[in-house]
Structure 1
Amino acid sequence: MFRFLIVIEKGDGNYSAYSPDLPGCAATGKTREEAEKNMHEAIAFHIDGLKEDGLPIPEGKFSASWVLV
C-alpha cells in the first residue's frame, strides 16, 4: 500500500488535483469530490504504469498541515 499527498485546487468552474510525489499525475472534476475520486484512479493507473515499465515507485515524501492566523 502506498500513501501520497494530493493537492486539490478550485478553478474556474471545476477542480484540479495533483500529487507532488508523482510528477505528471493529475486529474480534474466538476466537484471537489469528483476531482479526488479521479485522482485516486489516476494514481492507481500511474503506479500500474511504473510497475509495468519496471520503474521504481516513489516514496510519498510530501505532507501538509493547516495554519490558523
Structure 2
Amino acid sequence: MQYVVIIEETEEGGYSAYVPDLPVCFTVGDTLDEVKTNIKSAIELYLEEIREMGMVLPLPKTISTLVAIQAA
C-alpha cells in the first residue's frame, strides 16, 4: 500500500510530515531523510496496531498532483 505523505519545512528549521488518510500519523525531523524515516515508521506502527485490533486497514484515498503555472 502507498499513502500520500505531506512534508513541510518548519519555521524553526527541520521538517514536519503527516498522512492525510491516517490522521494519527505525523512526525518531525531535523532533516528530510530523518522525517521520511520517521513517517514511514509511524505508518508501519499504526497499521500494525490496526491489524492486531482486528480492524480493517484504511485504504489510501488522497490523490496528489502537481499543477504547473506560469510565473509572472
1:57 aligns with 57
Structure 1 runs (4+) deviating above 4 angstroms are none
Q: Which entry has the higher C-alpha Rg, 1 or 2?
A: 2
SS in 2 for 1:55: coil
Provide TM-score, normalisation by structure 1: 0.90
Greater fraction strand: 2
Tell me the matched-pair count: 68
CA distances 1:19-54 after superposition (whole Å, capped 9, x unpaired):
011111111110112101110111000100101111
Q: Counterpart amino acid of 1:39?
A: I
Task: Identify unmatched segments of 5+ residues in structure 2.
Answer: none
Query: Cα distance, 1:67 vs. partner?
Result: 1.2
User: RMSD across aligned C-alpha pairs, in angstroms?
Assistant: 0.9
User: What runs of 5+ residues in structure 1 fail to find an aligned partner?
Assistant: none
Tell me the residue number matched to 1:7.
6
So what's the TM-score if we normalise by structure 2?
0.87
